[in-house]
């Protein structure tokens, strides 16, 4: 059978062993197991009766087990030092986490239609969920997806706030034809982007997540974008620049179609995964739903990372920096001004988890 393989400059293999699960919504008093992975799987008991929340509301499904997470500690560095440090920190996007209703069905679609590789998979019956990591290269050097299946939950609300994931391919038209041949859903036929020249197409996976196929030459990072909608673009740009240390790579206004986008990231778009922020004229609020979870970002120091976020303001720390109970991997988690969640993971600890 024909298989779509996005253009990749290089690839390598990596052995995976001990991993770590950041189950902040779990009601279990047990410390996280060393066999669990780097992601916030929202367990079934946290999803029952869950309501979609607006971007302006704060996240509520977080329950921490460590007493040190209950209060915001006094920052240890000054504002100028913190904001300067984030620009020098060694950061990259590690993975994006979201929930699916049928894990095997989604794995089949991603591998056969999108050309991804199943990097690893693990089942955690005591917590009633299963994870699968897929991408175009090993986790120590590529941005990947972390799929979460919660036992018995076959449907989620994606909402209107989440936009799409972006995948760079050499030939969009050919990719679309192959996806159609495998029964995939194409929602936008190949052609120039509105207000631009880049050739794109849109498809949907079995759970309704949209993927933008972008025609592009060889790239080391085919999984190249995560698009999120925001209610105040300038506010979001400032937050991600100063609190997260991202660079505004480009900004494009499309008055004809009444929207503006800003590409934010830690390196050039053709070599790194980036965050695409979209502002639709006059729209200040969106429904976030309960399907999309968060992005994980590597950092050399989770403590300084949390300090910078607090000192900048606009966001909110939801998990104080420090090692998870019973495990040495250090993390911190926060919400941006629109309520989008990000998790920062210590680079050295993350590398040890992949040994």
For the ranges 7-11, 44-48, 216-220, 299-303, the one whose mean pLDDT is highest: 299-303
76 pLDDT band, cuts 50/70/90, is low
Annotated binding site: 146, 164, 212
Distance CA 338, CA 202 (A): 25
- pLDDT at position 135 over 80: yes
User: Does residue 212 carry a catalytic annotation?
Assistant: yes
pLDDT at 25: 37
Q: Where are the beta strands (DSSP E) in the chain?
A: 92-99, 117-124, 129-135, 144-150, 162-169, 185-192, 199-204, 210-215, 223-229, 247-254, 259-265, 274-280, 292-299, 316-323, 330-335, 341-346
Annotated binding site for Zn(2+): 146, 164, 212
Query: Where is average pLDDT lowest: 46-60, 68-82, 223-237, 238-252?
Result: 46-60
Cα 8–9–11 angle (5° rounding)? 75
Q: Which of 112, 127, 139, 212 is catalytic?
A: 212
């Amino acid at each position: 059978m024909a298989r779509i393989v996005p253009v990749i400059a290089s690839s390598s293999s990596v052995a995976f062993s001990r991993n770590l699960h950041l189950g902040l919504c779990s009601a279990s008093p047990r410390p996280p197991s060393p066999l669990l992975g780097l992601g916030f799987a929202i367990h079934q008991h946290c999803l029952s009766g869950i309501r979609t929340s607006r971007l302006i509301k704060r996240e509520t499904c977080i329950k921490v087990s460590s007493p040190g997470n209950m209060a915001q500690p006094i920052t240890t560095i000054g504002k100028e030092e913190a904001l300067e440090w984030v620009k020098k920190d060694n950061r990259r996007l590690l993975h994006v986490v979201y929930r699916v209703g049928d894990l095997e069905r989604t794995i089949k679609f991603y591998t056969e239609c999108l050309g991804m590789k199943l990097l690893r998979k693990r089942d955690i019956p005591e917590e009633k969920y299963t994870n699968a990591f897929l991408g175009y290269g090993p986790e120590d050097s590529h941005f990947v997806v972390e799929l979460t299946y919660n036992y018995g939950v076959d449907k989620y609300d994606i909402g209107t706030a989440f936009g799409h994931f972006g995948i760079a391919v050499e030939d969009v038209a050919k990719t679309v034809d192959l996806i159609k041949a495998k029964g995939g859903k194409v929602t936008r036929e190949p052609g120039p982007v509105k207000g631009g020249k880049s050739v794109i197409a849109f498809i949907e996976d079995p759970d309704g997540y949209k993927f933008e196929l972008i025609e592009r030459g060889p790239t080391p990072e085919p999984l190249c974008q995560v698009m999120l909608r925001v209610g105040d673009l300038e506010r979001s740009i400032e937050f991600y620049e100063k609190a997260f240390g991202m660079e505004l790579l480009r900004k494009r206004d499309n008055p004809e179609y009444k929207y503006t986008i800003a590409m934010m990231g830690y390196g050039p778009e053709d070599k790194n995964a980036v965050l695409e922020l979209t502002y639709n004229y006059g729209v200040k609020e969106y429904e976030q739903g309960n399907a999309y979870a968060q992005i994980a970002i590597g950092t050399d120091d989770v403590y300084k990372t949390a300090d910078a976020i607090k000192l900048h303001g606009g966001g909110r720390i939801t998990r104080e920096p420090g090692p998870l109970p019973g495990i040495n991997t250090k993390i911190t988690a926060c919400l941006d001004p629109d309520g989008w969640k990000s998790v920062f993971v210590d680079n050295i600890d993350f590398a040890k988890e992949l040994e």
